[in-house]
Amino acid sequence: MYLFSIEGGDGSGKGMATKIVSEVLEREFAFSSVETTSEPRREHPLGRLAIESVRKRSMTPEQEAGLFAADRLDHSHGWILSRLLEGRAVVSERNIHSSLVYQGIVGDLGISRVAHMNAAALVPDLCIWVDCEPELALRRIRNETLRGVSNKEEYFETTEFQTRIREGYRALLSGNMEMPTPFDMGAIIGPISNEGTEKEFRHSLIEGIRAFLHRRPAPINVDSEAVDQYQIRQLLRLSMGQSTLTDLGVEPAKNRSDWLDGDAPWKVLKSAQEKHEVVLASASGGNTLEMPKNILNHSMSSVCGTFSLVHTADISEIRSSMGPVRCVSKRHCQRIVKFLHDSYGWVSQNKSLIGREAPRSQLKDEHFSYGRLLLSIWPFRSAIRKWQLSNPNTHLRFSLGQIIRTGGHTSSVHATISRLSLLGCGIDGKSPPSDEDGLIDWWLGK
């Protein structure tokens, strides 16, 4: 879903940064997987041609930049893009900013010319700029281990060259120079100094990644709705293939076509909201701080919606099943599950009789319709909540129709219709809606 690039001069610590960033993405966020790569690609013919052009200095600067661009375009669309569409994170040691600095600034081609040559490449969602003093970088380059891997000393061994590279990165990434289109769409953090301890370096990288992802930015290269639908499709396939664990008292997730249980969608949501208000009203003092303020918020919708896709799961499995679009932190996930179990009674839990495994939770059958509904109307959650706040005396049944007819929600309409084609409309023997009027009728229970 997101492309992260690690940038900086030779010997600045990009390899270590790539490893640290990959570890925190794997540990704390719900990507389907985290893939690492680098540019130019040493294992690919195009990448090797680019490397050899620098090593032998046998081509003009423009020819050299062209080889790097060719490798990047093939890498972008032949390897990276398909992984982003599947909800994976890709961490690339070097990407477009390396060419802008090395060929555009240091190589005197100009960043506009280099950007034009790479214009069809993917744009890093986040560029992580790693920095260190040129003399320290040279000592790392001359280190036997690093040199054995890269042989960078053959052509990057002068302090003068490393200083020019560092100044190039500083000019490009600090905002002193205008970033060329389309690469001005990505975010940049840094400079992150790698002149202190590894612990300090690691801390700075982790804080930067957390700050970026906690904002839930829209991905640049893929549509987040397509990514989430891919995740839902995969979970539906998995769920259909799982068997009932009757001996353990665990039933599989319900995937019947009549998941609305004969109710109109608005009625299912209204019933859940009324239950939530009762629970909030009956809670005492400090307990309300741990409760979600409304059931259409991201955390509540994600946890309940995900429960409707899985048979039974512990916290780590629930978070993994959310995917990157519906991702909720471990702490929030634990809090919502506890709330659903203790206060709502919507979730049942089964503890293993052997060992100390975490309890496995399951959405009770009678509340399955609410979880599945939240997945279906995910694109409209914020709009429905805003409508309710603006129209406190208007019945909820009118919300979706009024929202749709105001215009400006075309993408949400298409996304919801597409989700219903995956999840079913919840009415046995009835086809999912195919247009705006059909979606409104579905909401009304017609």
Reported pTM = 0.88
Q: pLDDT per residue over 90-142, tens digit each?
A: 999 999 999 999 999 998 899 999 999 999 999 999 999 999 988 887 877 77
Least confident stretch, 68-77, 141-150, 154-163 = 141-150
Q: pLDDT per residue over 278-311, tens digit each?
A: 888 887 655 555 677 888 999 999 999 999 998 8
The pLDDT, as a whole number, for residue 59 is 86
DSSP string computed for 202-222: HHHHHHHHHHHHHT-PPPSSS
Angle between helices 45-56 and 61-75 (to 10 degrees): 160
Q: Which is more confidently placed, 263 or 59?
A: 263
The number of C-alpha atoms within 13 Å of 382 and in the hemisphere containing its C-beta is 4
- Give every CB contact of residue 121 below 8 A, 6+ residues apart in sequence: 69, 72, 73, 76, 96
The enclosing H or E element of 360 equals: strand 360-363
Q: pLDDT averaged over the chain?
A: 88
The pLDDT, as a whole number, for residue 438 is 97
pLDDT over 50 (residue 66): yes
> Residue 78: pLDDT band by 50, 70, 90 thresholds?
very high
Q: What is the CATH T-level fold of the domain 2-214, as seen in this structure? A: Rossmann fold (3.40.50)
The pLDDT, as a whole number, for residue 56 is 83
The pLDDT, as a whole number, for residue 243 is 44
Counting Cβ atoms within 10 Å, is residue 238 exposed (0-12), middle (13-18) or buried (19+)?
A: middle
Q: Which is more confidently placed, 367 or 435?
A: 435
Coil, strand or helix at 95: coil
The pLDDT, as a whole number, for residue 81 is 98
The pLDDT, as a whole number, for residue 343 is 85
The pLDDT, as a whole number, for residue 251 is 47
Amino acid at 169: Y
What size, in residues, is the chain? 446
The segment(s) of the chain belonging to CATH 3.40.50.300 are 2-214
Q: pLDDT per residue over 174-206, tens digit each?
A: 988 999 999 999 999 999 999 889 999 999 999
Measured CA to CA, the distance from residue 140 to residue 195 in angstroms comes to 12
Least confident stretch, 16-20, 169-173, 293-297 = 293-297
The pLDDT, as a whole number, for residue 284 is 66
The pLDDT, as a whole number, for residue 249 is 45
CA 143-145-148 angle, 5° bins: 100
> Residue 248: pLDDT band by 50, 70, 90 thresholds?
very low
